Amino acid sequence: MKGLDIHDRPKKLRGSSHSRNPQSSVFIPIRFLNTTSVDPSMASDYSGTPVTLDTINPKVLNCEYAVRGEIVTLAQNLQQELKENPGSRTFDEILYCNIGNPQSLGQQPITFFREVLALCDHPAILDRAETQGLFSADSIERAFQILDQIPGRATGAYSHSQGIKGLRDTIASGIEARDGYPADSNDIFLTDGASPAVHMMMQLLIRSEKDGILCPIPQYPLYSASITLHGGTLVPYYLDEATGWGLEISELKNQLEAAKSKGISVRALAVINPGNPTGQVLSESNQREIVEFCKKEKLVLLADEVYQENIYVPDKQFHSFKKVSRTMGYGEKDISIVSFQSVSKGYYGECGKRGGYMEITGFSPEVREQIYKMASVNLCSNISGQILASLVMSPPKVGDESYESYFAEKDAILSSLARRAKTLEAALNSLEGVTCNRAEGAMYLFPRIELPKKAIEAAKAANTAPDGFYASRLLDATGIVVVPGSGFRQVPGTWHFRCTILPQEDRIPAIVTRLTEFHKGFMDEFRD
- pLDDT for 477-525, tens place per residue? 998 999 888 878 888 889 999 999 988 899 899 899 999 999 999 999 9
CA distance 58 to 183: 41
CA distance 189 to 381: 9
Question: Is there a single domain that holds both residue 286 and residue 356?
Answer: yes
Question: Is there a single domain that holds both residue 60 and residue 182?
Answer: no
**Closest of 338, 246, 330 to residue 299, by C-alpha:** 338
Question: Is there a single domain that holds both residue 236 and residue 314?
Answer: yes
Does position 149 have pLDDT exceeding 80, yes or no? yes
Question: Is there a single domain that holds both residue 366 and residue 452?
Answer: no
Q: pLDDT per residue over 382-425, tens digit each?
A: 999 999 999 999 999 999 999 999 999 999 999 999 999 999 99
> Which of 344, 371, 392 represents a domain boundary (last residue)?
392
Count of domains for the chain: 2
Confidence band of 68 (pLDDT split at 50, 70, 90):
low
**Closest of 1, 5, 4, 3 to residue 491, by C-alpha:** 5
483 Cβ partners below 8 Å, 6+ apart?
66, 67, 69, 71, 98, 99, 277, 471, 497, 498
**Structural domain includes residue 262:** yes
Does position 66 have pLDDT exceeding 70, yes or no? no
**Structural domain includes residue 401:** no
Does position 14 have pLDDT exceeding 60, yes or no? no
CA distance 485 to 506: 26
Alpha helices (runs of H) in 85-161, residue ranges in sequence order: 111-121, 131-134, 137-149
Residue-level pLDDT at 359: 97
**Closest of 107, 171, 111, 164 to residue 389, by C-alpha:** 171
Question: Is there a single domain that holds both residue 497 and residue 382?
Answer: no
Residue-level pLDDT at 99: 81
Question: Is there a single domain that holds both residue 62 and residue 211?
Answer: no
Could you say which DSSP state residue 52 is in? Answer: -
Question: Is there a single domain that holds both residue 169 and residue 79?
Answer: no
Identify the residue with better confidence: 69 or 147.
147
CA distance 415 to 409: 10
- 123-130, Cβ contacts within 8 angstroms, sequence gap of 24 or more: 123/147, 123/153
Confidence band of 102 (pLDDT split at 50, 70, 90):
confident
Question: Is there a single domain that holds both residue 280 and residue 345?
Answer: yes
Residue-level pLDDT at 69: 67
Confidence band of 43 (pLDDT split at 50, 70, 90):
low
Question: Is there a single domain that holds both residue 292 and residue 190?
Answer: yes
Does position 12 have pLDDT exceeding 50, yes or no? no
**Structural domain includes residue 52:** yes
Supply the CATH number for residue 219's domain.
3.40.640.10
**Structural domain includes residue 432:** no
Question: Is there a single domain that holds both residue 199 and residue 57?
Answer: no
> Which of 352, 367, 392 represents a domain boundary (last residue)?
392
Q: pLDDT per residue over 32-41, tens digit each?
A: 344 444 444 5
**Structural domain includes residue 226:** yes
Confidence band of 153 (pLDDT split at 50, 70, 90):
confident
Torsion from C-alpha of 350, 380, 392, 95, nearest 10 degrees: 10
Does position 20 have pLDDT exceeding 70, yes or no? no
CA distance 321 to 326: 9
Is the Cβ–Cβ distance between 362 and 201 less than 8 Å? no
Residue-level pLDDT at 25: 31
**Structural domain includes residue 144:** no
Domain hosting 328: range is: 159-392
Does position 301 have pLDDT exceeding 80, yes or no? yes
Kindly report the number of other CB atoms within 10 A of residue 440's CB atom: 21
**Closest of 501, 404, 409 to residue 447, by C-alpha:** 501
Residue-level pLDDT at 410: 95
Question: Is there a single domain that holds both residue 235 and residue 349?
Answer: yes
Residue-level pLDDT at 16: 31
Kindly report the number of other CB atoms within 10 A of residue 515's CB atom: 23
**Structural domain includes residue 348:** yes
Kindly report the number of other CB atoms within 10 A of residue 7's CB atom: 7
Cα dihedral sign, 12-264-287-225: negative
Supply the CATH number for residue 82's domain.
3.90.1150.10
Does position 6 have pLDDT exceeding 60, yes or no? no
| Region 210-238 average pLDDT | 91
Question: Is there a single domain that holds both residue 90 and residue 167?
Answer: no
Residue-level pLDDT at 470: 93
Whole-number mean pLDDT of the chain? 87
Percent residues over pLDDT 90 in the chain: 62
Q: Which of 44-48, 105-109, 231-235, 333-337 has the lowest mean pLDDT?
A: 44-48
> Which of 392, 420, 435 represents a domain boundary (last residue)?
392
| Region 354-365 average pLDDT | 94
**Structural domain includes residue 439:** no
Residue-level pLDDT at 44: 61
The pair phi, psi for residue 360, each rounded to 5°, is: -110, 130
